[in-house]
Structure formats: structure tokens, C-alpha cells
Amino acid sequence: MPNHTDPLAELLAAGAATVERPSLGAGYRGYDTPRPKGGTVDLRIVLNWRHAGKITVDGLGRLAFPVLPDRPGLYRFTWVDAICGHRTFVGETGNLWRRLIAYRHPGPASITDQYVSDLLLTHLNAGGTADVAIAMYGALHVGGAERELDLASVASRELAANAALMQCAVTGDTDIVS
């Protein structure tokens, strides 16, 4: 059996690093404050999806969505197709209403918007159905303490969206569209 060493253990055994830190001024983003050593990441995300309605195709052949709030949150498209079974797409945005318009009118530079829009249009035009659900509130449990998950923060929305995708991946009951 090969002898593998832990690179972090080797660095720690070598002693203090001699790399000079650039001077960015006192208190720059906590640069001068001591860093925690080691530790455990212990967090849990709780979101409640609310069914917002059906996704349809309008008379112009474009996706039509239910009216959504003009606020930050997560959105989830779900549909069942004959080949892939249950499919799920999860996204996050600073403005739910505006974000879904991008799927109705995908620009040429928006590869993901065009891809998801094409998948949904193909499915709906073949007689399928699709739903949209949203999450506008959430909770973050850190080390046993609960606090509101600030979905106005991009980092919080991305964390929550990735948690939702991980749940889909772990349960394995849906094909994740990405």
C-alpha cells in the first residue's frame, strides 16, 4: 500500500509561512484580524417551496409564466417527460418576475436561458405540463442556532439553490437540468 502524506500536515510541520502580506490598510475586510484555525462547517438550509402555477405556451409560441413577485428568491421548474422522467431546474435571482421574462425572451448570449426555454417549449408543445414553484424565505441553521436566510444576498441565494440541487441529487428521484 503506498504511503500517502497529508499536504496540510506537511505545511503545518514546516512552520510559519514567510509570505509577505500586502498592506491594504488597517481593517481591510478583516485582513488584519486573526483567522480561525481548523473547525467544522455545520449548517442546514430550510426552504419552503410554494407552487406558483403552471408554465404554458401563449398564442405567440412563447413561454408564459404565472405572475411572480418583484423580489429576490429561488425558482424551480418541474416537469415529467416520457424519456427522462421527472426533471427539475433550480435557479436563483434578485427579481423573480424579471428573471422569468428572460426564459420567455432568451437573448442569443444567454445559453442557459435558451437551453431551458427550448426544453420547456419542446415539452409543452408535445402536450406535456410544467410547473413553477418559488421560495422567497428560508432559514439558516448554523451550529444549532437558527437565523433568517437573507435571500437578498447573492451568496445566500446561491447557497440555497445548491442545497436544493443537492437534495435532488441525494434523493435521486429527478433528473437535474443544468
Residue-wise pLDDT tens digits, 15-59 = 655 545 555 555 545 555 666 677 888 899 999 999 999 999 999
Q: What is the DSSP letter of 153?
A: S
Residue of 172 and 71 predicted with greater confidence: 71
Q: What value does the mean pLDDT take over residues 151-170? A: 96
Single pTM value for the model: 0.77
Residues 146 and 132: their CA atoms lie apart, in Å, by: 28
Q: Which 3 state secondary structure label does DSSP give 78? A: strand
Res 83: pLDDT: 82
Output DSSP code: residue 94.
S
Q: Which residue segments constitute the domains of the chain, with CATH numbers given?
A: 43-176 (3.40.1440.40)
Digit-coded pLDDT (tens) for 60-86: 999 999 999 999 999 999 999 888 889
pLDDT of residue 161: 97
**Average pLDDT over all residues of the chain:** 86
| Grid cell in block for residue 53 | 402555477
| Cell numbers representing residue 87 in the block | 426533471
pLDDT at site 8: 58
Residue 149 has pLDDT above 90, yes or no: yes
Burial-class residue 175 by CB neighbours within 10 Å (0-12, 13-18, 19+).
Answer: middle
Q: What angle do CA 110, 135, 140 make, to 5 degrees?
A: 110
- 76, 133 Cβ separation under 8 angstroms: yes
